[in-house]
Structure 1
Amino acid sequence: MNRRNREWLRPWEATIPPPAPAGPVAQRPTYRQMVRHLRSEANAGRMLPFVIEYRGQLAGQLTVAGITWGSMCSGHVGYWVDREVAGRGVMPTAVALAVDHCFRTVGLHRIEVCIRPENGPSRRVVEKLGFREEGLRPRYLHIDGGWRDHLVYALTAEEVPGGLLDRWHQARSGPPRK
């Protein structure tokens, strides 16, 4: 699936920046190293990696990362979806499920999603779910060979007392009939 989606995801996936003149050369981790890192961070309570399935097939990935405890109790969400299932409500549903898990089970208070301004489909995911746009982070992440600006979207537990999945289902079904 990665090969099939490589060109479609390339403009949005993080890349390793070039090394500083006196710094070490960073290399893209192997798949095994990536899995080891995800497990280590999850075991330490700093990350929640999820696989997304659609009709029994791998359809994407969602990760709640940068989990911070103490007075902050927050994390940020990153995700990607297979081009073959994009536009079918898979990603908004996955984000809603993950956010509900973070708020109701894990005990986080705030979730952020940072998205490149030109990534319209990803922005629509969080806008459909009612995330609030908070501003711009200039040159926030190294993506596709350069430091790219990102819009910050956020949501707190108080904003979705009935759960984000319930709000998403209500938004999809439209206003109640009279």
Structure 2
Amino acid sequence: MMPDGVQMRGLALGDAAGLAEALVRNREFMAPYEPARPGAFYTERGQRERIAGVLGERDAGRTVPYVLVAAATGTPVGTINLGSIVRGPLCSGGVGYWVDRAWNGKGLATAAVEEVCRVAREELGLHRVEAGTLLDNLASQRVLAKAGFEPYGVAPRYLHINGAWRDHRLFQRLLHDEPPPG
């Protein structure tokens, strides 16, 4: 259940302008946790191109993208994606998210992660969902712990974030122990 005043819905091309504005508004806040991005990423055109690629991945069954919007205005206040979906014996996906600085600490990220896990289990039949955070991203680690994730390791120099290869703590949430769908 999303916190009052927020809705979670499927990502659409029409979200490009609002996401560009939200990303510009949160650029400095998110910089320590994000890869270096070209200036075009923060434009409506850049977001439209990015969203088109994400929707192609959705259509191929490899990702399920959502946008978090303020219910009163429709303004994007974050995104969450279930990506890297693999079927077969692994039956897994990875979750990634960000929330507007003004909405931090209100339970939005935790609620969105919990909803994505529900979709992963009930609609997609996935066995597990994984996530990774920078070692010092304690806020995101709290979100994952509240959503039932457990740490299972550290990946050295995992992603190039904010100008350097950075270690990540890896988390997983096991959703069920049933065999993979036939």
TM-score range, shorter chain: 0.7 to 0.9
**Unpaired runs of at least 5, structure 2:** 1-21, 178-182
Q: 1:32 aligned to 2:53?
A: no
Which one of 150, 155, 158 corresponds to residue 132 of structure 1? Answer: 150
**Structure showing greater Rg:** 1
Q: CA RMSD, aligned part only?
A: 1.9
Which residue is 1:173 aligned to? Answer: none
Q: Give the C-alpha shift of residue 27 in structure 1.
A: 9.6
Q: 1:99 aligned to 2:117?
A: yes
SS at match of 2:140: helix
Q: Give the C-alpha shift of residue 53 in structure 1.
A: 2.1
Query: 2:126, 2:59 → 1: CA distance?
Result: 17
User: Which runs of structure 1 show a deviation greater than 4 angstroms over 4 or more consecutive aligned residues?
Assistant: 26-29
Query: 1:5, 1:114 → 2: CA distance?
Result: 21
**Unpaired runs of at least 5, structure 1:** 17-25, 160-178
Query: 1:13, 1:48 → 2: CA distance?
Result: 20
SS at match of 2:135: coil
Which residue is 1:49 aligned to? Answer: 65
Q: 1:77 aligned to 2:95?
A: yes
Q: Which amino acid aligns with 1:44?
A: A
In the TM superposition, what whole-angstrom CA distance separates every residue of 1:9-48 from its partner, at most 9, and x where no partner exists?
01111336xxxxxxxxx99762222011101100000011
SS at match of 2:90: coil
TM-score by length of 2: 0.77
Which residue is 1:145 aligned to? Answer: 163
Q: 1:123 aligned to 2:144?
A: no
Q: 1:28 to 1:68 in 2, by over 3 A?
A: farther
Which one of 33, 44, 51 corresponds to residue 12 of structure 1? Answer: 33
